[in-house]
Amino acid sequence: MNDFIAALPKAELHLHIEGSFEPELMFEIAQRNQIEIPYKTIDEVKKAYQFSCLQDFLDIYYAGAGVLIHEQDFYDLAMAYYQKCYENNVIHTEIMFDPQTHTERGIAFETVINGLQKARLEAKEKWGINSLFIMSYLRHLSEESAFETLKQSLPYKDLITSVGLDSSEMGNPPIKFKNVFEASVKEGYIPVAHAGEEGPTEYIWEAIDVLKVARIDHGNRCLEDENLVNEIVKRDLALTVCPLSNLELRNTDVMTNHPLKKLLDKGIKATVNSDDPAYFGGYMNANFVAVQEALNLSKEDILTLVKNSFNYSFATYEQKKIYL
Ligand code: ADE
Ligand code: ZN
């Protein structure tokens, strides 16, 4: 089964590039930029990666991203992820990046996007990997700050496909970003949002009714509301589910209780993704293997999940015909 999973060409729809920052590269870049990090060894870093909730993780994730300064750093970060795509047979990926994590520290939007774009072109050339970018607004910051980010993105609009919403979910409901999502859609960006990862079902309703998302990131908690499940099925919205993330952030107590199979059985178009693989212990194949083993998924289930990812990707119709 593991060989079957590894050999399948796959698409990834939920990946934070800052969450693919492996400790080894973090050390290298920190040293290069002469920035102190609070760890002396890789082992110390790995020990720090024990989370009891989303906020626990985010605090460490933002601190790690703080060593990224130059275009070369963003390029190196993205190339390391594309290398993992190649190793995991991921041929299409939709990469989220958090501009505000960097612009808040005085790094120019241009520095971030230029580094990522350089890597994207090289990964396409070297490994044939197709990718697109999702610019994610940080929900713990204000809508005004998201508007500022939207403005900064406009000269690079052609490089960005979609806008997302991530960071601390509790207390930051989707409705807080109603206006900036409307403005983003007017600019041609496709809206997605994290909802129902830790947050209640009301946040998923808001993501679909107010932000009018084309896909829901996580969305696991929709199972608590039967009307919501029916609505997600009716509106044909896919969920980007992240099994190892859910386990590491304690949104699932043990993998055998993971809701993925239930979601599929309800008719929801679920997909498997790695979210922040450097922090949660595995890339795409590891995520598939973990849920397959825990939930005893069949080859048919795996094929359904993989096909969902291609079908519900933001690839063009022509590109999807090639993939499928
Ligand atoms: N940013 C990076 N990973 C995230 C996650 N799993 N949830 C919310 N924001 C994030
Ligand atoms: Zn995420």
74-103 burial, b if ≥16 CB within 10 A, otherwise e?
Answer: bbbbbbbbbebbeebebbbbbbbbbbbbbb
Look at the pTM and tell me if it is higher than 0.90. yes
Residue among 238, 248, 247, 239 nearest 219 (CA): 239
Distance of CA 22 to the CA centre of its chain: 16
Question: Any catalytic annotation for residue 197?
Answer: yes
For ligand 1, atom 8, name the residue with the nearest CA.
Answer: 167
Distance 35 CA to ligand 2 centre (A): 26
pLDDT in tens, 267-299: 999 999 999 999 999 999 999 999 999 999 999
Report the complex ipTM. 0.98
Which protein residues are within 6 Å of ligand 1, measured from CB? 16, 19, 54, 61, 166-167, 194, 197, 245, 275-276
Mean pLDDT calculated for residue range 146-156: 98
* Confidence (pLDDT) at 278: 97
Q: Which numbered atom of ligand 1 lies nearest the CA of 167?
A: 9
Provide the 8-state DSSP code for 88. T
* Confidence (pLDDT) at 295: 98
The distance in angstroms from the start CA to the end CA of the chain is 21
Tell me if 11 sits within 8 A of 319, measured CB to CB. Answer: no
Average pLDDT over all residues of the chain: 97
Q: DSSP states of 153-222 as a string?
A: HGGGGGGEEEEEEES--TT--GGGGHHHHHHHHHTTPEEEEEESSSS-HHHHHHHHHTS--SEEEE-GGG
Give the residue, out of 16, 20, 137, with the most ligand 1 atoms within 8 A of its beta carbon, to mutate for a pocket test: 16
pLDDT in tens, 115-124: 999 999 999 9
The CB-side HSE value for 104 (13 A sphere, CA atoms) comes to 15
Distance 276 CA to ligand 2 centre (A): 7
Mean pLDDT calculated for residue range 245-251: 97
Spatial CB neighbours of 275, under 8 Å, sequence gap ≥ 6: 14, 15, 16, 19, 242, 244, 245
Does the pLDDT at position 146 exceed 90? yes
* CA–CA separation, 50 and 54 (whole Å): 11
* CA–CA separation, 32 and 233 (whole Å): 49
Q: Which numbered atom of ligand 1 lies nearest the CA of 198?
A: 7
Q: What is the CA radius of gyration of the chain?
A: 18
Give the residue, out of 169, 194, 197, 247, with the most ligand 1 atoms within 8 A of its beta carbon, to mutate for a pocket test: 194
Distance 89 CA to ligand 1 centre (A): 24
What confidence tier does 155 reach under pLDDT thresholds 50, 70, 90?
Answer: very high
Does the pLDDT at position 254 exceed 90? yes
* Confidence (pLDDT) at 46: 85
Distance 14 CA to ligand 2 centre (A): 6
Q: Which numbered atom of ligand 1 lies nearest the CA of 18?
A: 2
Q: Three-class SS of residue 95?
A: strand
Percent of the chain whose predicted confidence (pLDDT) is above 70:
100
Q: Which of 169, 197, 198, 206 is catalytic?
A: 197
Sequence-ordered strand ranges (E) for the chain: 10-16, 90-97, 130-138, 160-166, 190-195, 215-218, 238-241, 269-272
Percent of the chain whose predicted confidence (pLDDT) is above 90:
97
Ion ligand 2 contact residues with beta carbon within 5 A: 275
For ligand 1, atom 1, name the residue with the nearest CA.
Answer: 167
Tell me if 160 sits within 8 A of 131, measured CB to CB. Answer: no
Edge-to-edge strands, sheet with 269-272: 10-16, 90-97, 130-138, 160-166, 190-195, 215-218, 238-241, 269-272
What confidence tier does 67 reach under pLDDT thresholds 50, 70, 90?
Answer: very high
Distance 245 CA to ligand 1 centre (A): 9
* Confidence (pLDDT) at 4: 98
* Confidence (pLDDT) at 135: 99
pLDDT in tens, 8-64: 999 999 999 999 999 999 999 999 999 999 898 988 988 899 999 999 999 999 999
- Which numbered ligand comes closest to the C-alpha of 98? 1
- Which numbered ligand comes closest to the C-alpha of 101? 1
Which amino acid is it at 22?
A: E
- Walk me through the domains of the chain, giving residue ranges and CATH numbers: 2-314 (3.20.20.140)
Residue among 149, 148, 143, 117 nearest 131 (CA): 117
